[in-house]
C-alpha cells in the first residue's frame, strides 16, 4: 500500500504544478517517500485541531516543494481540497507557491529563502523545551521535524543555527536532509565539497545516512533519532530529484519547472497511472486515517488533562493565564534621570522579567553593550528554563530563532544588537512581518553618536530601511514615559513584529505627560505652537526642545513620533500642524514626507558618519541646537 500512496502523492503534486504551469515538481517527487512515512508513522498532528499547541511541528525548509506538503495535508484530511490543489499558485488560493504559515491548514512553517526554515525550526524546538520544563511534559511534549535541502545547508544561516541547536541540547529536533545533489544551476558538487555528515557531527549532532526511498530505513532512522533526546538529529536521505520522470530525474531541469506535456505522459506511464491526475483511490485517504484518529484522540485526552490541571492547580493556572495574556501588565519602573535609553530600557526589561516568564531573548554577543538582559537565568542544555539566550556572534540565526520561539505559540522571543547590524537580520525580520509574528528586535547604538567607532558602526539608512518593511513597527522612544510604554508595547501581541531602537549616549529626562493610548497611536503633540512644527523621535525630541527654546519670540509646535510609521499624511489634520514643517532625525531624511506630508526642511544625515567624539560629530554634521534654530529662523 505504501507504494500506491506515494504514487498518488507524486501524481497529485506533479499534476498541481502542471496545471499551474509553474512550480517545483522535483522535490515532491523525490521526497514523497519521506513525507509519507512522517505523516503515517510519526507526526502527531490533529486535523480536528490543526493548531493544537502540543502537536509535532513540521518545518518545510525547502519551501519550494510546497506541492508535497499540500498533497500530504489533503490526503490526511486537513482543509485542503482537490479544488485547492487545482488552484495551486493562483491568486487568493489556499495553495500559494511558498505558503510560509497557516496553522489552521496544518502549515507550521515553510520558507522560500533557504536556511530560514532550518534556523526557525531551532527556535521552535527551543520553545518546546522551555515550555515542557515550565508546564510539565503532560502539557507540552512534542518533536520538531523538518525537511531541509542542499541549498538550506549551504546558507551560512543554517550553520549558525545548527551549532546553537547542539550547544543547547535540542534533542527533539529531527531534520531529514534531501540529499539529491541538485540545485537550480546543476550539480551541487560543482559548488560544494562539504561532507555534511562530518560537519554536523563536528557541531554535535547525531547523524545517520539512509536510502531516502526505502520505507523501512526511513522508519528506523527516525525511531533512532527520537530515542536520542540529548542531541539534535540529521538524517541524510539519499534521494533522486524528480523520481520516475524518465528524462528529467536527477537533473536541474526538474527542480523549478513543470514536467511538460510529453514528460508528464511518460512519467505517468512509469507509474502505471491512467486515470485523472486529481482523482485518487479511497484507499489512499484511508491509509492515513488510523494515525489521524490516534492523534485526534490524543488531542482530546490532552485537552481534558489541561482542563483538569487548570481546575486543580492554581499555580499552573496563573502561569497558563500569563502565558496566554495578550498584553504586558504590572510595569512599575520609574524613569526620571538623565541616561541612555538603552540603560533606561534595560531597567524596564529586568522588571518585566521578574513577573513574566514567557519572554525569552538575548544578544548576539553584545549584552554588555545593549544591556537587554531579562533575567539572571541563562538557557542551556542543563537549564532549559532560563530566559536569557546567549547567541554568540550570530545575528542572523538570532533573528530566525527569535521568530521560531514566537511562532511556536504564545511565547515572545527577542533578539538584541546594534542598529547597524540589523542588516544582518533583515531577511528574518521581513519574514516575521510576512508571517505576522510578534517577534521583537531591540537595537541600540542608534546613531552616529556612538562616536569613535566610526562609520562602520554608525547607522544612517537603517531607521528608514526598517520602516520600509510592511507591518514592522519601528519604535524610537525619548527618555521619558515613552521608555516604559515602548516595552509595554513591544511585548503586546498585536500580530506584527516590532523593532525598538535605543541610544548609546545619555540624554536628559523629558516630562511628557502623555498616555499609553497616545503613545500607541505613534505620534502626539508634546508642545503646542503656531509658527512652525518640528517632528522628531528618540534623542532628537530633546534636540527639538532645545531648538524651540532658542527660537525666542516664536511659537513652536513639537510632535513626538515614537512610532513614525503609524503616522500617515491623511492623519495629519488631527494634529493641526503649521505651514512650516521641519523634521529632525539622525539618519536619512528620505521618507519623512511620506509620513508627515510636505516638509520645509529636514535636519538629517545623508552621508556616512565619521570617527570622532560626540561634540565633534554634532559640529561636523550641523546637528547642534544653535545651528538648527538659526536655519529655522531664516526660513521663518
pLDDT at 569 over 90: no
Question: Is residue 395 annotated as a catalytic residue, yes or no?
Answer: yes
C-alpha cell at 434: 510576512
Nine cell digits for residue 533: 512644527
Q: What mean pLDDT comes out for the span 587-610?
A: 96
DSSP 8-state symbol, 379: P
CA quadruple 446, 448, 452, 454: dihedral positive or negative? Answer: positive
pLDDT, residue 337, reads 95
Residue 331 included in any domain: no
Do 240 and 164 share a structural domain? yes
Strand order of the sheet with strand 524-527? Answer: 524-527, 556-560, 532-536, 581-584, 601-603
Predicted pLDDT at 242: 97
Q: Is 8 within a domain?
A: yes
Residue 338 has pLDDT above 90, yes or no: yes
* Residue 627 burial (10 A CB sphere; 0-12, 13-18, 19+): middle
- Predicted structure pTM score: 0.98
Around 254, how many Cα atoms within 13 Å sit in the side-chain half-sphere? 28
Q: Is the pLDDT of residue 444 over 90?
A: yes
Residue 359 belongs to some domain of the structure:
yes
Q: Mean pLDDT over residues 299-318, rounded?
A: 98
Per DSSP, 41 falls in state: I
Same domain for 531 and 494?
no
Whole-number average pLDDT of the chain: 97
pLDDT at 573 over 90: no
pLDDT attached to residue 487: 98
Q: Which CATH number is 604's domain given?
A: 3.40.50.920
DSSP structure class, residue 435: T
In a domain, residue 11? The reply is yes
Closest CA to 388 of 175, 126, 589: 126
pLDDT beyond 90 at 570: no
Q: What percentage of the chain carries pLDDT values higher than 90?
A: 97
Same domain, residue pair 539 and 390: no
177 inside domain: yes
Task: For residues 458 and 536, state if they share a domain.
Answer: no
User: And the C-alpha cell for 484?
Assistant: 516604559
What is the widest separation between alpha-carbon atoms in the chain? 89
Quick one: DSSP state of residue 507? B
Domain co-membership, 79 together with 108: yes
Q: Following DSSP, what letter does each residue of 508-543 receive, concatenated?
A: --------HHHHHHT-EEEE--SSEEEEE-THHHHH
End-to-end alpha-carbon separation of the chain, Å?
83
Q: What was the pLDDT predicted at 10?
A: 98
Question: Residue 506 domain-assigned?
Answer: no
Closest CA to 205 of 130, 125, 136: 125
**Is 510 within 8 Å of 543 (Cβ atoms)?**
no
pLDDT tens digits, one per residue of 227-241: 999 999 999 999 999
- pLDDT tens per residue across span 421-443: 999 999 999 999 999 999 999 99
Point out the catalytic residue in the list 128, 163, 395, 540.
395
Same domain, 69 and 185: yes
**CATH code for position 156:** 3.40.50.970
- How many structural domains comprise the chain? 3
Cell numbers 514615559 correspond to what residue? 481
Same domain membership, residue 390 and residue 276: no
Residue 276, C-beta contacts closer than 8 angstroms, at least 6 positions apart: none
Domain contains 322: no
* Domain span including residue 467: 341-501
> Does the structure show a pLDDT above 90 at 568?
no
Average pLDDT of the segment spanning 103-127: 98
pLDDT in the model for residue 250 = 96
pLDDT computed for residue 509 by the predictor: 97
Q: What is the mean pLDDT of residues 466-472?
A: 98
Q: Return the pLDDT at 329.
A: 78
In a domain, 63, yes or no: yes
What's the confidence (pLDDT) of residue 15? 98
Residues 494 and 539 both lie in one domain: no
**How sure is the predictor about 81, in pLDDT bands with cuts at 50, 70 and 90?**
very high
Q: Are residues 481 and 355 in the same domain?
A: yes
Contacts of 626 (CB under 8 A, 6+ apart): 550
Averaged pLDDT for residues 103-112: 97
Residues 353, 291 share a domain: no
Q: State pLDDT tens for residues 510-561.
A: 999 899 999 999 999 999 999 999 999 999 999 999 999 999 999 999 999 9
Which pLDDT value is given to residue 500? 98
**Domain identity same for 109 and 189:** yes
Both 382 and 531 in a single domain? no
pLDDT band at 571 (very low <50, low <70, confident <90, very high): confident
Q: Given a cut of 90, is residue 18 above it in pLDDT?
A: yes
Amino acid at each position: 500500500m505504501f507504494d500506491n500512496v506515494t504514487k498518488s502523492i507524486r501524481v497529485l503534486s506533479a499534476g498541481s504544478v502542471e496545471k499551474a504551469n509553474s512550480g517545483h515538481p522535483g522535490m515532491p517527487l523525490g521526497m514523497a517517500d519521506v513525507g509519507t512515512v512522517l505523516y503515517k508513522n510519526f507526526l502527531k498532528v490533529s486535523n480536528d485541531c490543526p493548531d493544537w499547541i502540543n502537536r509535532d511541528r513540521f518545518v518545510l525548509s525547502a519551501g519550494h516543494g510546497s506541492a508535497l506538503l499540500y498533497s500530504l495535508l489533503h490526503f490526511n484530511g486537513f482543509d485542503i481540497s482537490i479544488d485547492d490543489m487545482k488552484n495551486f499558485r493562483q491568486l487568493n488560493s489556499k495553495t500559494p507557491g511558498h505558503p510560509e504559515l497557516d496553522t489552521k491548514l496544518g502549515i507550521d512553517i515553510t520558507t522560500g529563502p533557504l536556511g530560514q526554515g532550518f534556523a526557525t525550526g531551532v527556535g521552535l524546538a527551543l520553545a518546546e523545551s522551555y515550555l515542557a520544563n515550565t508546564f510539565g511534559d503532560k502539557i507540552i511534549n512534542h518533536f520538531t521535524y523538518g525537511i531541509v535541502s542542499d541549498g538550506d545547508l549551504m546558507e551560512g544561516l543554517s550553520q549558525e543555527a545548527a551549532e546553537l541547536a547542539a550547544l543547547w541540547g535540542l534533542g527533539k529536533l529531527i531534520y531529514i536532509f534531501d540529499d539529491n545533489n541538485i540545485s537550480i544551476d546543476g550539480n551541487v558538487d560543482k559548488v560544494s565539497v562539504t561532507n555534511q555528515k562530518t560537519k554536523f557531527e563536528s557541531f554535535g549532532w547525531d547523524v545517520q545516512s539512509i536510502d531516502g526511498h526505502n520505507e523501512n530505513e526511513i522508519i528506523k532512522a527516525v525511531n533512532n533519532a527520537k530515542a536520542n533526546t540529548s542531541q539534535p538529529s540529521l538524517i541524510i536521505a539519499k534521494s533522486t530529484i524528480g523520481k520516475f520522470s524518465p528524462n528529467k530525474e536527477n537533473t536541474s531541469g526538474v527542480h523549478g519547472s513543470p514536467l511538460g506535456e510529453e514528460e508528464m505522459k511518460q512519467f505517468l506511464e512509469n507509474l502505471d497511472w491512467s486515470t485523472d491526475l486529481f482523482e485518487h483511490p479511497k484507499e489512499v485517504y484511508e491509509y492515513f486515517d488510523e494515525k489521524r484518529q490516534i492523534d485526534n484522540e490524543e488531542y482530546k485526552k490532552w485537552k481534558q488533562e489541561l482542563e483538569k490541571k487548570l481546575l486543580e492547580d492554581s499555580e499552573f493556572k496563573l502561569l497558563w493565564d500569563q502565558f496566554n495574556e495578550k498584553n504586558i501588565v504590572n510595569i512599575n519602573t520609574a524613569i526620571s534621570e538623565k541616561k541612555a535609553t538603552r540603560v533606561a530600557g534595560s531597567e524596564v526589561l529586568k522588571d518585566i522579567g521578574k513577573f513574566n516568564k514567557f519572554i525569552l531573548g538575548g544578544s548576539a554577543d553584545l549584552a554588555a553593550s545593549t544591556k537587554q538582559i531579562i533575567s539572571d537565568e541563562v538557557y542551556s542544555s542543563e537549564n532549559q528554563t532560563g530566559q536569557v539566550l546567549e547567541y554568540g556572534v550570530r545575528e542572523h540565526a538570532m533573528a530566525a530563532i527569535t521568530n521560531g520561539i514566537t511562532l511556536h505559540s504564545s511565547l515572545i522571543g527577542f533578539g538584541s544588537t546594534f542598529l547597524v547590524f540589523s542588516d544582518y537580520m533583515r531577511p528574518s525580520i521581513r519574514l516575521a512581518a510576512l508571517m505576522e509574528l510578534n517577534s521583537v528586535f531591540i537595537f541600540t547604538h542608534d546613531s552616529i553618536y556612538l562616536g569613535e567607532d566610526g562609520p562602520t558602526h554608525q547607522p544612517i539608512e537603517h531607521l528608514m530601511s526598517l520602516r520600509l518593511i510592511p507591518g514592522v513597527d519601528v519604535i524610537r522612544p525619548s527618555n521619558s514615559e515613552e521608555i516604559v510604554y515602548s516595552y509595554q508595547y513591544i511585548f503586546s501581541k498585536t500580530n506584527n513584529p516590532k523593532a525598538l531602537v535605543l541610544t548609546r549616549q545619555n540624554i536628559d529626562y523629558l516630562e511628557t505627560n502623555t498616555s499609553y493610548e497616545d503613545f500607541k497611536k505613534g505620534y502626539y503633540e508634546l508642545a503646542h505652537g503656531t509658527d512652525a512644527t518640528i517632528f522628531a523621535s528618540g534623542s532628537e525630541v530633546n534636540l527639538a526642545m532645545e531648538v524651540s527654546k532658542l527660537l525666542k519670540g516664536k511659537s513652536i509646535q513639537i510632535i513626538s513620533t515614537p512610532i513614525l510609521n503609524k503616522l500617515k499624511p491623511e492623519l495629519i489634520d488631527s494634529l493641526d500642524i503649521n505651514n512650516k514643517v521641519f523634521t529632525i532625525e539622525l539618519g536619512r531624511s528620505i521618507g519623512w514626507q511620506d509620513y508627515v506630508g510636505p516638509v520645509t526642511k529636514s535636519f538629517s544625515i545623508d552621508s556616512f558618519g565619521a570617527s570622532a567624539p560626540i561634540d565633534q560629530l554634532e559640529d561636523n554634521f550641523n546637528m547642534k541646537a544653535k545651528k538648527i534654530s538659526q536655519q529655522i529662523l531664516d526660513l521663518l
